[in-house]
Amino acid sequence: MDYYILISFIGATSALAISPGPDNIYVLVQSITNGKVFGIATVCGLITGCVVHTTLLAFGVSALIKANESLFFGIKVLGALYLLFLAYKVFKADSKIEFDGVNAPKKSLKQLFVQGFFMNVLNPKVTIFFLAFFPGFLFSDSFSTVIQFYVLGIIFMLTSFIIFSIIALLASEIKKYTLGHKHSGVVFKWLQILVFIGIAVFILI
């Protein structure tokens, strides 16, 4: 078992969770609109959705690895290219962080959990991202790939849950800081770019 790979995976997941994106901005907005507990309910829904993507990845990609190692290498290359494409999209995007929906109508805990779950499960971009991200971090020659993908999925979910929950709890402070520091959007933008490029390089090494 290569612990360096697992530690690298935790670091990459943490950086991704911290960087502003649709999911953590959504958590932030729900916390500001409905309260911290409701923000955490949203987090639970989003993270639970990751179980579905992890399962699809574990059994689908594992079958491909058993069938053809060259095909698996091709998946890793395509994954790295997709991450570089995401870095390019972030580079071309506006660095301003928007807090749309702060005045949206309030929802119950169950509604926010369900909405977060389906928002994650029904987003094909999440599946594609998992396919691009996870295969480059397989960490053992002795464990089956199914087990390794589930271990990576659990680590991803736990790390994201902790960081997203902190975002939910500190929502008001984060919004004040972001609005009060005009260059924060640029800093977060370049953080995202560097994270995507770094993961792409790591996958190909």
Instruction: Give domain limits for the chain.
Output: 3-12+22-95+108-204
Confidence of residue 66 (pLDDT cuts 50, 70, 90): low
How far apart CA 137 and CA 203 sit, in angstroms, is 7
What's the pTM? 0.81
Q: Is the pLDDT of residue 72 over 80?
A: no
Helix axes 22-34, 36-67, angle to 10 degrees: 160
| pLDDT, tens only, 92-111 | 877 666 655 555 567 788 98
State what percent of residues in the chain have pLDDT above 90.
26
pLDDT in tens, 27-48: 888 888 778 899 999 999 999 9
Closest CA to 117 of 61, 53, 204: 53
